[in-house]
A and B are shown apart, each in its own frame.
Chain A
Amino acid sequence: MGKNQQEFLEMINEYQRVIHSVCRLYTNNTIEHEDLFQEILAQLWVGYQRFNFESKVSTWIYRVALYTSITHIKKVMRSREALNEVNIAQFDSQTDTETDEELLKMAIKKLSESERAFIVLYLDDLSYKEMADILGISESNVGVKLNRIKQKLKTIMT
């Protein structure tokens, strides 16, 4: 394995949590998660040669991971339509904590691909500035969008 490849893998190893957190919100099962992870890894490797290290490595990884997830989502998530047909009521029999968490996760999966990008970054506790940098919109827009998405989640869950 070449030095370049070794350096790349060390970097991915350090930041793989970022890729996993993106995959988690854009997929429904382990197979899809692995597929998307591999897709993102391939995109990162292609882009690695052109990455000029002007932005933070994590910013670059978030950008590539989110863009790949948003654009490749149809290919990766073949079973998404099936998920949309799942009735939230089926979780009634579970315990309260599980139901709450599952409901929230279900509601997140019902958001659009771009809205889920905000949720990924929010759950990873990024600042508005970092979010704006990754997504390419203003910080104030990030704030407004996040508030609207939170409201939307509440509506979906009620």
Chain B
Amino acid sequence: MELEELKNKVQKDDIKYSSQELESIFEIKTLSTVQRINRTMLIDALVMTGLTALLVGVTFYLGLKSRYVVSSQIIGAAAILLVHYKIKYRLINVFNPNLSIVQNSERTYKYLKRYCSAYYIIVPLLTVSLGANLYLQLNLDWSTIAVFLVILGMAIITLACTHLIIKIIYSKPISRIKAIIYQFNNIDI
């Protein structure tokens, strides 16, 4: 059978839900799914914001000497969670209805890469900051070169760990989106 014959056959097929069936699918499945996702998103956002505010509040309440540093470190940690939140709920599997399939995939891919770059900047900065803070708290008397080497080592180890974690969490969606773009754009496959 040729595709042309199948085309004629398929166009005569008429699988259809009745209005009532459609309405019940929408009410029972669609609305509950969307509500569940929205609820999870809201809970995650509230936990994230609440926890950040609470931890910052505690540092000020305790009157820590380095409360501004500690608070900025907590906000840095929250920024990492925010990037993950954006990727999970606002990027992957979210389709912009006004763009084509390839445009959507390219847009998702571009933002995904951008967010991953944010991880590479925020996580090492946070680790170095935590390390520096610890160094000051412990009143260590190291030479400048030793401090520099330790900070450099920490940054490198953190970068490697960040790279590994990003690979574990995001390599699947990244390669899936890349494959879609490649398959549609490349006329040889």
Residue numbers of A with Cβ under 8 A of B are 1, 5, 8-9, 12-13, 16-17, 20-21, 24, 37-38, 41-43, 45-48, 50-52, 54-55, 60, 63-64, 66-68, 70-72, 97, 100-101, 103-105, 112-115, 117, 119, 122-125, 133-137, 141, 144-145, 148, 150, 153
Contacts and interface: CB of A to CB of B under 8 A. Distances in A.
B103 interface: yes
A136 B7 contact: no
B101 A66 contact: yes
Interface stretch (B79-87, B91-99, B114-122): B91-99
Given A41-B30, A137-B185, A12 B22 contact: yes
Sorting the interface of chain B by its residue count into under 10, 10 to 19, 20 to 34 or 35 or more gives 35 or more
A28 B13 CA distance: 16
B137 interface: no
A38 B10 contact: no
Given A42-B34, A64-B95, A103-B1, 11 more contacts: A41-B29, A45-B26, A101-B1, A112-B189, A114-B183, A123-B3, A123-B11, A135-B100, A136-B100, A137-B184, A153-B3
B22 A136 contact: no
B187 A148 contact: yes
Given A20-B16, A123-B3, A134-B101, A9 B22 contact: yes
15 contacts: A13-B19, A17-B14, A21-B10, A24-B13, A41-B25, A50-B97, A52-B97, A63-B95, A66-B101, A67-B95, A71-B176, A104-B1, A123-B3, A137-B184, A137-B185
Contacts of B7: 122-123, 125
B104 interface: yes
Given A45-B30, A122-B7, A144-B187, A72 B180 contact: no
Contacts of B98: 50-52, 54-55, 60
B33 interface: yes
B174 to A, nearest CB: 13
A119 B4 CA distance: 11
A136 B102 contact: yes
B9 interface: yes
Nearest to B94: A46
B168 interface: no
